[in-house]
Amino acid sequence: MPSYTLNVNGKDRPVTVSSADMPLLWVLRDVLNLTGTKYGCGIEVCGACTVMVNGEPQKSCDMDVSSAVGKRIVTIEGLSPDRSHPAQKAWIAHQVPQCGYCQSGMLMATACAMQAGHRGASIASELSNVCVCGTYQRIKSAVTTL
């Protein structure tokens, strides 16, 4: 079985997986137990599995583990040590989540947009993540304050 070292949330993490084309999503959830990243569609549509890779949003269902080697991966668990990222604070202030399932992907996509220098309402137009609960209006309100 292939073994790799992945840089996740600032730490090098050795992983052994069943195959080199195992999606990063399953390595994060099942090997590293970072279950904040969610499986939604598995076909690169819903965004529930979004993580940050080298500062860019990446659907982790669409990245082989072997392609993630040598890159900086950040998951929702690593976004801030104490949930104090501005997007997390805005989400709390605007009571965005309902069931919460999609929200880590939403937050990671938002954090990537902020890292790219985008602010306010323009972030909302960049988010393509799907929320089955329909929290879009609250997300729009929250990102307007960023």
CB-nearer residue toward ligand FES: 79 or 102: 102
Min. distance of Cβ 70 from ligand FES in angstroms?
22
Applying CB under 6 A, which residues contact ligand FES?
A: 39-42, 44-49, 59, 61, 97-103, 131-133, 135
In sequence order, what are the beta bridge partners of 12? Answer: 7
CB-nearer residue toward ligand FES: 41 or 69: 41
Min. distance of Cβ 103 from ligand FES in angstroms?
6
Q: How far apart are CA 125 and CA 123, in angstroms?
A: 5
Min. distance of Cβ 123 from ligand FES in angstroms?
17
Helix (H, G, I), strand (E, B) or coil at 56: strand
DSSP state of 44: S
CB-nearer residue toward ligand FES: 47 or 78: 47
CB-nearer residue toward ligand FES: 5 or 56: 56
Q: Residue 64: which residues within 8 A CB-CB, separation 6 or more? A: 20, 21, 22, 23, 24
Q: How far apart are CA 3 and CA 42, in angstroms?
A: 23
